[in-house]
Amino acid sequence: MSSTVERFDREAREKFERHGRTVIHRGELLRHPVYTRVLHWSVAIVFILSLLSGFALNSPWLFRWLTPLFGGGAMTRLLHPWFGLTFTIVFFFQFLNWFAPMRWTEGDSRWMRQIRVYVSNQEKLEAKETGFFNAGQKLYFWTIAVSALLFLITGLLLWFDHVMPRWVVAGSYVVHGLAALVMLAGFIIHIYEGTAAAPGTFRSMIDGTVTEPWAWTHHPAWYADVTGRAPREAYEQARDEQARANRRL
């Protein structure tokens, strides 16, 4: 990431931090500062608005009941491209904000080859090289980045369909719909991963913090980075303390 983007991102973080504070208690770590949280929830809101209005336009026979939410059919048609455009703009800022920790590494390729271990929860701790984001999260991020670009291009072509050749409009419909389905599938997995699959994750997007056990369990390399402690030792120490406390009961 160029130094201009880094500077922009740092200044935005500082500005947002003046309007909303992140309180970090003992035993917690800062995960997502105010700026990131505002961006993430803005992305989520416009994404859902784009998705619902898009469903209503694409398959009215099934989703016509959604149009009153947007003020009727004509209004849904008018608003959908604006929701989509806002989504790509806000996601662009999120893209800049997360570009650095989303860089793909050799460790991520290893993680992907062993995804079965992650999905089946065989190991208590994530692979020790897992940093701020794991490979699954990075994959989701890059899927959105590519889909958002396709959305933008095909969305603009569809917006001005009256001046486009028919084959361009037909092709844009297909690509737009496919990108929406890919994002929807990712979104469903994402909600599960960000809530039920790993308790303690959701709060990071609410108050900005996570507990140390969450960090050493899911992102050991990041934990080692920010605390200077070894994640496995911290885990074993906490486990032994818990066992001693249980014996005393």
Long-range contacts of the stretch 65-74 (C-beta < 8 A, 24+): none
Residue with Cβ nearer ligand HEM (29 or 157)? 29
Q: Binding segment for ligand HEM among 22-30, 154-162, 183-191, 221-229 (CB under 6 A)?
A: 183-191
Q: Binding segment for ligand HEM among 22-30, 71-79, 168-176, 188-196 (CB under 6 A)?
A: 188-196
* Minimum distance, C-beta of residue 75 to ligand HEM, in the bound complex (Å): 23
Grouping H, G, I as helix, E, B as strand and the rest as coil, residue 28 is: strand
Residue with Cβ nearer ligand HEM (172 or 217)? 217
Q: Binding segment for ligand HEM among 42-50, 106-114, 162-170, 172-180 (CB under 6 A)?
A: 42-50
Asked if residue 194 binds ligand HEM (CB under 6 A), the reply is yes
Residue with Cβ nearer ligand HEM (76 or 130)? 130
Among 22, 9, 20, 14, which residue's Cα sits nearest to residue 204? 22
Size of the site for ligand HEM (CB under 6 A): 19
Binding letters toward ligand HEM, positions 61-100, x by CB under 6 A: ----------------------------------------
135 burial via Cβ count (<10 Å: 0-12, 13-18, 19+): buried
* Minimum distance, C-beta of residue 128 to ligand HEM, in the bound complex (Å): 17
Angle at 125 between CA 122 and CA 128, to 5 degrees: 120
Among 141, 151, 214, 222, binds ligand HEM (CB under 6 A): 141
Residue with Cβ nearer ligand HEM (117 or 188)? 188
Helix (H) or strand (E) holding 211: strand 209-211
Q: Which residues inside 111-140 make contact with ligand HEM, applying CB under 6 A?
A: 133, 137, 140
* Minimum distance, C-beta of residue 44 to ligand HEM, in the bound complex (Å): 4
Reading the block at residue 69, the tokens are 């939410």
Number of other residues whose CB lies within 10 A of the CB of residue 2 = 8
Among 5, 205, 226, 230, binds ligand HEM (CB under 6 A): 205
Long-range contacts of the stretch 135-142 (C-beta < 8 A, 24+): 135/104, 135/107, 135/108, 135/109, 135/111, 136/111, 136/193, 137/193, 138/102, 138/104, 138/108, 139/112, 140/186, 140/189, 140/190, 141/98, 141/102, 142/102, 142/104
Number of other residues whose CB lies within 10 A of the CB of residue 7 = 10
Residues of this chain that interact with ligand HEM (CB under 6 A) are: 31, 40, 43-44, 47, 133, 137, 140-141, 144, 187, 190-191, 194-195, 201-202, 204-205
